[in-house]
Amino acid sequence: MKQDTICVQGGYTPGNGEPRQVPIIQSTTFKYATSEDMGKLFDLEADGYFYSRLQNPTNDIVAKKICELEGGTAAMLTSSGQAATFYAIFNIASCGDHVVSSASIYGGSYNLFAVTMKRMGIEFTFVDPDCTEEELNAAFRPNTKAVFGETIANPALTVLDIEKFAKAAHRHGVPLIIDNTFATPVNCRPFEWGADIVTHSTTKYMDGHGAGLGGCIVDSGKFDWTKYPEKFPGLCTPDESYHGVTYTERFGLGGAFITKATAQLMRDFGSMQAPSNAFLLNMGLESLHVRMKRHCENGQAVAEFLQNHPKIAWVNYSGLPGNKYYALAQKYLPNGSCGVVSFGVKGGRQAAETFMKHLKIAAIETHVADARTCCLHPASSTHRQMNDAELAAAGVGADLVRLSCGLEASEDLIADLAQALEQV
């Protein structure tokens, strides 16, 4: 099936007389006739539900749709994008291990890696996404367990050379994990370029309406853990907490990673998405293919308008021919990137604040990627503890405005920007 059809119908095919809409199974627990039946679930010998901290049927339907969209073999939902990122890495890296990550990633992921996971004994080396293959290869250590990057980085809008990162990861016998939140599988399917695991903050375009927090992990089933059993003992040797199950043996390459993340990490950390949120997420997915097109059209129109405006210092949008990432975007994102555009207002911090104060359609929010256009001035909000020199070093200038183009008419968005710029 084509992506558009999967968006609408994937993951769920009701039988005769069953609900047409994905049912919300609002139940923490599930009933069994005998203890023996339930025992089989606890030994991972039978498939089934017993407690919604680990698995829920509504969530599994929605995860299956995202799995089909990405072209994977197995998937799971999580309560947030942060949980998805954490689980994807912690599933294969423990205390004493090392991970190579692109330096151009979401701020929340950076904190998770550089502060919290570091406290757990996992070390990260951050590399410039535009580095050479030699520089990238030099970042690996004998204890490296994974490589991480974002298809389109939030907020820097860097486009990752996925093939370059996949090649380096595979040369060192580890998987490439890609956060595909901004591109969505409608605009890029990282597995087709060599990525092994994909993560999402479904809070963004997938939900698309700012309604529910959520995350997702998808496995391509292509990474052969059994070639490196000493590197990935959690997948290739018996799990004592499940009576000696070896995930790669019992569930194969297509199922081992997600089964382990569900059976161990979801059991122990419980970052489960509420089934009612999964229902809302599915509603968002039903129109994802239609919405992404409009987000990209609006992003392009707004970027072109801003580029030609005398009060704008610079515009960063990979759909503009002069952009540093234009060529990579043409390769990895031929149908468009996303609706997020960043730019600088001439006059710096003060000008940016004045400009934003006068916007009428674009609301000031610490959010991106939903139906309503919103914007943020990091220097006076998310990054306000930094002075101008520190901001510049972080690649977030005092003049930077991040605008997330929604689904409104581009003419209205442009008129709103124009009138606010007149006030500067």
Ligand X SMILES: *Cc1c(COP(=O)(O)O)cnc(C)c1O
Which residue has the CB atom at the shortest distance from ligand X? 81
Contact track, ligand X, 89-108, x by CB under 6 A: -----------------x-x
* Contact predicate 103/114, CB 8 Å: no
H or E segment at 307?
helix 288-307
- The smaller minimum CB distance to ligand X, of residues 131 and 198, is found at 198
Residue by residue, DSSP assigns 316-352 as E-TTSTTSTTHHHHHHH-TT---SEEEEEETTHHHHH
- The smaller minimum CB distance to ligand X, of residues 340 and 401, is found at 340
Stretch that binds ligand X, among 179-187, 251-259, 293-301, 370-378 (CB under 6 A): 179-187
Contact track, ligand X, 142-171, x by CB under 6 A: --------x---x-----------------
Neighbours of 156 (CB within 10 A): 22
- Separation of alpha carbons 188 and 70, rounded Å: 9
Reduce the DSSP state of residue 23 to 3 states and report it: coil
Contact track, ligand X, 35-54, x by CB under 6 A: --------------------
- At its nearest, how many Å lie between ligand X and the CB of residue 108? 5
- At its nearest, how many Å lie between ligand X and the CB of residue 14? 29
Angle (nearest 5°) at CA 190 between 249 and 66? 70
Neighbours of 171 (CB within 10 A): 12
- The smaller minimum CB distance to ligand X, of residues 40 and 367, is found at 367
Out of 203, 282, 298, 316, the residue judged to bind ligand X by CB under 6 A: 203
- Separation of alpha carbons 277 and 155, rounded Å: 25
- At its nearest, how many Å lie between ligand X and the CB of residue 173? 26
Q: Does 117 bind ligand X (CB under 6 A)?
A: no
In this structure, what are the phi and psi dihedrals at residue 190, rounded to the nearest 5 degrees? -55, -25
- The smaller minimum CB distance to ligand X, of residues 88 and 136, is found at 88
* Contact predicate 416/362, CB 8 Å: yes
Q: Does 82 bind ligand X (CB under 6 A)?
A: yes
| β 374-376/400-404 pair status | antiparallel
- At its nearest, how many Å lie between ligand X and the CB of residue 186? 16
Look up residue 149 and give its two tokens.
């990057």
- At its nearest, how many Å lie between ligand X and the CB of residue 241? 27
Rg (CA), the chain: 22
- At its nearest, how many Å lie between ligand X and the CB of residue 348? 26
- Separation of alpha carbons 77 and 68, rounded Å: 14
Residues of this chain, 205-234, that bind ligand X according to CB under 6 A: 213, 215
Residues of this chain, 61-80, that bind ligand X according to CB under 6 A: 80
- At its nearest, how many Å lie between ligand X and the CB of residue 181? 4
Stretch that binds ligand X, among 10-18, 81-89, 357-365, 379-387 (CB under 6 A): 81-89
Out of 91, 102, 104, 109, the residue judged to bind ligand X by CB under 6 A: 109
Q: Does 402 bind ligand X (CB under 6 A)?
A: no
Long-range contacts of the stretch 410-416 (C-beta < 8 A, 24+) = 410/297, 410/298, 410/301, 410/302, 412/361, 413/298, 413/301, 413/302, 413/361, 413/362, 413/373, 414/301, 414/302, 414/305, 416/359, 416/360, 416/361, 416/362
Which residues bind to ligand X, rule: CB under 6 A? 80-82, 85, 106, 108-109, 150, 154, 179, 181-182, 201, 203-204, 213, 215
